[in-house]
Amino acid sequence: MCIGRIIYGFTAGIMICSTPKMIEETIPEIVSEKGFGTSTNIFINLATLICLVLPAWLPEKREELQQTRFWMICFGI
């Protein structure tokens, strides 16, 4: 789980840094002036928050983790 969080944090940082430049180069100015670039960063940050908060409800005991399938939901999101 820790290695996954490190990898996810690294890739989320790259996405947050590269997205504005990619949007600037590909999206017409008319669309970007209406908040397209801002909404993209807001949703990236919201997804990061959800992925970091979701594991708080994972069971701590191995037996409970095997019985519940909550880890599949975390992995799927």
Contacts of 50 (CB under 8 A, 6+ apart): 77
Q: Which residue has the tokens 């890739």?
A: 11
CA distance 22 to 15: 10
In the chain the first and final C-alpha atoms are separated, in Å, by 14
CA distance 74 to 6: 15
pLDDT (tens place) for every residue of the chain, 77 residues total = 788 888 988 888 887 788 778 777 887 777 767 666 677 778 878 888 888 888 787 777 878 777 887 777 777 77
